[in-house]
Structure 1
Amino acid sequence: MLTKKNIKNGDELSILGFGCMRLPSDEDAAIKLIRDAIEKGVNYFDTAYIYKAGRNEVVLGNALSSGYREKVKIATKLPPYMVNSLDAAKRIFATQLSRLQTSYIDYYLIHMLTDKPMFDKMVSLGVMEWLEEEKEKGTVKNIGFSFHGSKQDFELIIKAYPWEFCQIQYNYLDENNQATKSGLNLAHAMGIPVIVMEPLRGGRLVNNLPDKVLERFNCYDKERSAAEWALRWIWNHKEVNVILSGMNSFEQLNENIKIANDARPDSLSDDELKIFDEVKDIIINRTKVSCTGCGYCMPCPYGVNIPGCFSSINDKYLLQDKNSKWKYIQTLGGFSAEPAFASNCKECGKCEKHCPQNIEIRKELKTVKKEMEGAFFKPAVTIARKILRIK
């Protein structure tokens, strides 16, 4: 297993990390899978307070008992939308330590930041100052954040605090979505290690690709799976420290470890990179809205994340994503202080003057609103925000 040194602290992290969110439902099988991964060189395990209603942390804690804890780095997350006081944050953290059967967390993240106001809330409540105190005590080793939002907000957040690592969604379809390639490069330039999540878009870059994409991959190398193509594309980036893979079978684990044994930065040939350009062209031609995610339409004066809206509806049709509406709520700030939904659009038209693709943005946002929001969308989000006490 190849490793990469964390330049912030010297940790040698396996380039393949274990994303625990999709562990097998059978806990004995999950524990065996985790321990097998450790024996084969995986040493970075990512979970969160909310995964499987907290059971995910419990299973990981059980798996790391009997001497395995010392062999790995644990990453888990504090959900800011559930934190309305410093005491609440402290209670969650104490629960996490108990679930994970550990006295410290190696990599602790503010979970799923979507905009700067959500981070500002953590600062105003004293959460960041408290985490620094926990770091001095050794109960937290590194402070970071995971991100789902616009490029602009990523840049604001990463510059607002001396982060020790960050976690972003990145793959060959998201090069111009969310944090984007420029965000990846910015983090690297600032000396901030990058953990990549959703390298296969939850498996949809394996199971839901158009036939023409698979044919193009196979023309070059029939032995290389769609998963291997996608993972090698990310590992080709020297800016990436760890890729998280949500493995739920020994078959997936073994395939990913085999790839990670020789996936080095800048190892793809010009011909291989050209294939990705062709694949992306095939995909773009099949999308609902021909948005490239360039961001020239941004910022919207009314807070709409225009590229994010179009990415959500494109995923729904291209990748047949059954969870597209939930992802829409999540990535467009449904649980943050300032949601960026399509319904925020006031049809001012400012965005259309700057779109190099000449997209009828106002018209397309109406389609997004109709298909991704619907009649019960706002009441449901309002109720959820009240339950979580989000203002």
Structure 2
Amino acid sequence: MMTRDNHKNGDQLSILGFGCMRFPMKGTGIDETRSIAMIRNSIEKGVNYFDTAYFYHGGKSESLLGKALRDGYRERVKIATKLPPFMLSKLEGAKKIFDTQLSRLQTDYIDYYLLHMLTDKPSYDRMVDMGVLKWMEELKEAGTIKNIGFSFHGSKNDFEQIVTAYPWDFCQIQYNYLDENNQATKSGLMLAHSLGIPVIVMEPLRGGRLVNNLPKEVLKTFQHYDKDRSPAEWALRWIWNHPEVHVILSGMSDEAQVEENICVAKDAPPNSLSEEELHIFDQVKTIMHEKTKVPCTACGYCMPCPYGVDIPGCFAAYNSKYLLEDKNARFKYLQTLGVLSKQPAFASVCTECGKCERHCPQNIEIRKELKVVRKEMEGVLFKTIVKGARTYLKLRKFKA
């Protein structure tokens, strides 16, 4: 297993991290026997970074990981888990969640602690105003938290604002060859690197869709170069080729995935892809681009929208629905473009002022396309669902 150096603290992190949100299931719950065996087997083969969160697997993921790391395994790994800002109304709520997490994980410290799923600058500001960042700093000083970071799902502009707002120990972004221009984007990755902030990558395979839902033309392109290299290996190698990436998180749900990913991670140094291999990705991205509904590159020139629409985010969700046959695209659209952010940023927020179109390098008819997105991604009950979800989350917030 190859490692990369976290220059901020000297940690040698395995380039493959175990994402603990897709454990194998047995009936309606986690298959504990298989999951624990997979975790321990991966540790024996060099994986030392495990990423979980407060609500993964309905709150069972942290507990399962805690069980798996008994018998001396805890001391061999780094645990990353997350605090959900959208469940907080007071600092006391954060403290209760953290105590629960320590208990579930059967540990007295967290190596990498993240603010979970920040979507915009206001969501970060709310944590500052609530005193959460100051509290996390106190825990770090006491050694109960080793590193403070955040995971991100939002627009390029918001990522830039958040990553420069605080001296983060690390950050976590969605990044793969399809999302090079989505969410934080490649420029966000480079910005974090320029600031000396280690980057953890999530969704390297887009939840498996860069393996199971690729257009046949893409599969043929990959196979023409190397018929024995799987789409998963292609996708992982593309990310590991970036020296700015420290760890890739893979949500492995069976033993075969663990074995394949570990095998690839034994020999995936940065800048190792040949010019011919990089050309293969250029061809693949061209095919994907041609099959994309809206040719948005998420450059951000159309932003900010004076009425709050996340234009690149709307197009990314819409494109994902059709390009990769993403059955969860509507849910993700609902979740990341308003339910968890300060204010809704959906296509239906658009007032058709046209300001965005004057700045679009691709000359996209943004107002027209947003109407299509609204029709495809929203429905008659959409606004009612959004309102209900936001109310529900507000009621779920911990109150001391």
Q: CA deviation at 1:119?
A: 0.5
Deviation readout 1:76-105 (Å, 9 max, x if unpaired): 000000011000000000000001010010
Partner of 2:109: 104
Instruction: Return the alpha-carbon distance in structure 1 between the equivalents of residues 266 and 344 of structure 2.
Output: 41
In structure 1, give the amino acid aligned to 2:305: C
Q: CA deviation at 1:350?
A: 0.9
Of 194, 197, 210, which residue of structure 2 is paired with 1:189?
194
Instruction: Return the alpha-carbon distance in structure 2 between the equivalents of residues 161 and 330 of structure 1.
Output: 25
In structure 2, give the amino acid aligned to 1:288: K
Instruction: Return the alpha-carbon distance in structure 2 between the equivalents of residues 290 and 115 of structure 1.
Output: 24
Instruction: Return the alpha-carbon distance in structure 2 between the equivalents of residues 292 and 183 of structure 1.
Output: 14
Partner of 1:258: 263
Partner of 2:341: 336
In structure 2, give the amino acid aligned to 1:152: N
Query: TM-score if structure 1 supplies the norm length?
Result: 0.98
Report the 3-state secondary structure (helix = DSSP H, G, I; strand = E; otherwise coil) of the residue aligned with 1:389: helix
Instruction: Return the alpha-carbon distance in structure 2 between the equivalents of residues 75 and 266 of structure 1.
Output: 27
Q: CA deviation at 1:338?
A: 2.2
Alignment of 1:157-306 (within 5 A): 157-306=162-311
Instruction: Return the alpha-carbon distance in structure 1 between the equivalents of residues 349 and 386 of structure 2.
Output: 14
Q: CA deviation at 1:382?
A: 1.1
Of 46, 66, 74, which residue of structure 1 is paired with 2:71?
66
Matched, 1:49 2:49: no
Deviation readout 1:284-305 (Å, 9 max, x if unpaired): 1111112122222111111111
Of 121, 131, 134, which residue of structure 2 is paired with 1:129?
134
Instruction: Return the alpha-carbon distance in structure 2 between the equivalents of residues 292 and 166 of structure 1.
Output: 23
Partner of 2:2: 2
Deviation readout 1:183-210 (Å, 9 max, x if unpaired): 0000000000000000000000000000
In structure 2, give the amino acid aligned to 1:305: D
Deviation readout 1:89-131 (Å, 9 max, x if unpaired): 0000000000101001000000000000000000011000011
- Does structure 2 retain, via aligned residues, the 8 Å contact 1:149–1:333? no
In structure 2, give the amino acid aligned to 1:250: E
Give identity over the alignment, percent. Answer: 71
Partner of 2:155: 150
Q: CA deviation at 1:158?
A: 0.6
Instruction: Return the alpha-carbon distance in structure 2 between the equivalents of residues 129 and 32 of structure 1.
Output: 38
Partner of 2:86: 81
Unmatched 5+ stretches in structure 2: 26-30
Partner of 1:365: 370
Query: TM-score if structure 2 supplies the norm length?
Result: 0.96
Of 342, 348, 354, which residue of structure 2 is paired with 1:349?
354
Q: CA deviation at 1:339?
A: 2.5
Deviation readout 1:258-291 (Å, 9 max, x if unpaired): 1111101110111111111110110111111121
Instruction: Return the alpha-carbon distance in structure 1 between the equivalents of residues 202 and 377 of structure 2.
Output: 24
Instruction: Return the alpha-carbon distance in structure 1 between the equivalents of residues 300 and 282 of structure 2.
Output: 20
Instruction: Return the alpha-carbon distance in structure 2 between the equivalents of residues 208 and 333 of structure 1.
Output: 27
Partner of 1:17: 17
Unmatched 5+ stretches in structure 1: none
In structure 1, give the amino acid aligned to 2:124: F
Q: CA deviation at 1:333?
A: 3.4
In structure 1, give the amino acid aligned to 2:164: K
Instruction: Return the alpha-carbon distance in structure 1 between the equivalents of residues 203 and 241 of structure 2.
Output: 16
In structure 2, give the amino acid aligned to 1:117: P
Matched, 1:91 2:99: no
Instruction: Return the alpha-carbon distance in structure 2 between the equivalents of residues 313 and 331 of structure 1.
Output: 13
In structure 2, give the amino acid aligned to 1:122: M
Q: CA deviation at 1:139?
A: 0.9
Name segments (4+ residues, structure 1) moved above 6 Å. none
Report the 3-state secondary structure (helix = DSSP H, G, I; strand = E; otherwise coil) of the residue aligned with 1:167: strand
Report the 3-state secondary structure (helix = DSSP H, G, I; strand = E; otherwise coil) of the residue aligned with 2:54: coil
Deviation readout 1:10-67 (Å, 9 max, x if unpaired): 0000000000100112111111111111011000000000111110111111101111
Matched, 1:309 2:314: yes
